[in-house]
Structure 1
Amino acid sequence: MADRITLARTFLQGTDWAGADIAMLAGDASNRRYLRITRDGETAVLMDAPAERGEDVRPFVAIAHHLTDMGLSAPRILAKDANQGFLLLEDLGDDLFARIIPRQPQIEPQLYRAATDVLVHLHTHPLPVDLSTYDPAMMADKAALAFEWYAGDADSVRRAAAHAAILAALANHADDSVLIQRDYHAENLLWLPERSGVARVGLLDFQDAMRGHRAYDLVSLLQDARRDVPAALATEMLNHYIDRTGQNAAAFNAAYHVLGAQRNLRILGVFARLCLRDGKVHYVDLIPRVWAHLMHDLAHPALANLMPLITDTLPTPTDDFLKDMKNRCAPPPTH
């Protein structure tokens, strides 16, 4: 950490922010972390994404430019050093949806409608070039993380059958027509009420964007792993998106739940891995909510074949099961 701070100060020496104060702002589930830079009452954000730990800032830069070019509020890039893994970004503030809604619960519907309208706007624009596709095969493999980490002792025959059923369901709803940010939820969205229209929603953590299905980010938004979105509000926003975009309601609803099942299976595996491999035990506490989302998705008729395979293969996250997982977590990371 000390070496990275030294490198960060060296990077800042070549910018207008030389000598600025540096304070920790946040980390995330990856190896990235964010620091707030302060100088003469002004602030910026420093992304520290070390290349030696598998990070690459160039996708963030490319997608940020793509989003801002269409009038969306991604952070402006103020300076960059891709080799060292540093980006100096516009500071969009601290009013994450996840923070502001508990303080102002009356504006929750307004925020979610604005975030849904961002997706409507985004999905009317051409895709950036050279963007990889989040295709059914890749998505099914990501869903299989649930069998590898969340239920590592699952029967291999059942695992194979579940994987095949997931792949078949995804293939029935394959679509790569829009850019998907893949982490579009309340802890990555900022409220910027001084701006207008779709620009009122600040966007973060989109560097893993790919081509994919237009329902995917809506699932990410409304089936949030970290906070409860009221069921009535989620239904309202799903219908709002369908109405604004002219989608076939039955087909879109089916795709929404199929993608939801895939995403929630992947998250179960990722959260278990963050505990068991990386020592990040607090992710275990989020698993019951993810499980509830998964059960809701599997209840859709489009997933009738998958429901018994999942419920017979993956353990229900009871208190005892989660306690045992925490007991098996790796030692906390030292970096």
Structure 2
Amino acid sequence: RIFTQSGTSILMDSSLEKSSLVHFLKIQQRLLNARVRVPQVFESSLELGFVLLEDFGSTHLLDILDEENQKLYYKKAIDEIVQIQQADATGLLVYDREFLIFEMDLSIEWYLKKHLGVVLDSKAKVELQSLFGLIADDVLLQPQGVFVHRDFHSRNIMLDANGKLGVIDFQDARSGAITYDLVSLLKDCYYEIGLEAREELVLYFRDKKGLDADDKTILRWFDMMGLQRHIKILGIFTRLCYRDKKRQYLQDIPLTLRYIKEVALKYPALKALDKLLMVN
């Protein structure tokens, strides 16, 4: 953070990965064009690998959420997702079947094998990967091709002094399913809201988008997208722990497992996930 007489700004140092800066600036501009509130760029040097950005402050949405205000702020955040989905997704990497399954496979290597010490036999591995395929196929049944932030949750949404939301950490955007960012928000691995409130907000998103989907359909889209994301997160969080020495992520695994169990038990074809991923 840079302090001056006129205020503060954020200096982003990409000097060791200068090529990533070009991508960051392109994604930032796409979101700005869609009227998404992302940090303005004051100055940039591609040669040196530095960017001077607008400072949204230090208050994350997570810091202020509680049972009384969560519905208000989540609706504001959903409105922001609707804007994000107006951004140009042309040329972005696509959340295709191969990538959806690749992400879920991380759970086998890092969560089951590395964290739990479980090596699946060939039969169990085939069964689990078959379920991954079913989940991926189901995800692809919902509308695709929208701009996906990929990490739109309460730690990546800032709240400024005027109570306005700002979006950060968008550089890994892809083109994908219409409920992806909604799942990131409403099935946040760092903050849990009740099932009734969550489903009400899913329907709010549906209505805000004007989607032609009944309640059962939109909730299934949401459930399957969430299942894919949380199976992936089991692998991501344990990889962050063991490879990157960030052990704090292990504390968020129990909620992630609860999300998986909730959906696996809701749909009979997925019931075996409960056992294969050692959810209990």
Q: Equivalent residue of 1:207, what SS?
A: coil
Alpha-carbon distance between aligned partners in 1 of 2:231 and 2:31, rounded to the nearest angstrom: 29
Is contact 1:75-1:92 (8 Å) kept? Answer: yes
Q: Which residue of 2 aligns with 1:191?
A: 159
Map 1:147-166; keep pairs closer than 5 Å.
147-152=108-113, 153-166=119-132
Mapped to 2, the partners of 1:285 and 1:55 lie a distance apart of: 34
Shift of 1:84: 4.4
Distance 2:232 2:19 in 1: 21
Offset of 1:307 from its aligned partner? 2.6
CA contact (8 A) 1:257 1:298 kept: no
Instruction: Tell me by how many angstroms 1:179 deviates.
Output: 0.4
Does the alignment pair 1:140 with 2:101? Answer: yes
Gaps of 5+ in 1: 1-35, 318-335
Identical amino acids, percent of aligned pairs: 27
Q: Deviations over 1:125-149 (max 9, x none)?
A: 2524311111121011101111110
CA, structure 1 residues 126+95, in 2 after alignment: closer, same or farther (shift >3 Å)?
closer
CA distance, structure 2, for counterparts of residue 307 and residue 87 of structure 1: 48
Instruction: For 2:107 and 2:206, locate their aligned partners in 1 and report how far apart those are by CA, in whole Å.
Output: 30
Structure 2 unmatched ranges of 5 or more:
114-118
**Cα distance in structure 2, aligned partners of 1:89 and 1:171:** 40
Name which of 218, 228, 231 aligns with 1:252: 218
Name which of 234, 237, 250 aligns with 2:198. 234
- CA apart distance, 1:67: 1.3
User: Which residue in the other structure is 2:78 paired with?
Assistant: 116
> Would the aligned equivalents of 2:153 and 2:185 in 1 still touch at CA under 8 Å?
yes
Q: Is contact 1:59–1:208 with CA below 8 Å preserved after alignment? A: no
Which residue of the other structure, out of 263, 277, 285, is the alignment partner of 2:243?
A: 277
Q: Which has the higher contact order (CA 8 A, sep 6+)?
A: 2
> Distance between the aligned counterparts of 1:231 and 1:242, measured in 2?
17
User: Do residues 42 (structure 1) and 12 (structure 2) align?
Assistant: no
> Please, which of 171, 184, 191 is the counterpart of residue 207 of structure 1?
171
TM-score (normalizing by structure 2):
0.89
- The residue identity in structure 1 corresponding to 2:275 is D
Give CA-to-partner distance per residue, 1:200-237, whole Å, 9 cap, x none. 32001110001001100000001111122233321221
Matches within 5 A, 1:295-334: 295-301=261-267, 304-308=268-272, 310-316=273-279
- Contact between 1:56 and 1:82, CA under 8 Å: does it hold in 2? no
- Cα shift at 1:288: 0.2
**8 Å CA contact retained: 1:76, 1:90:** yes
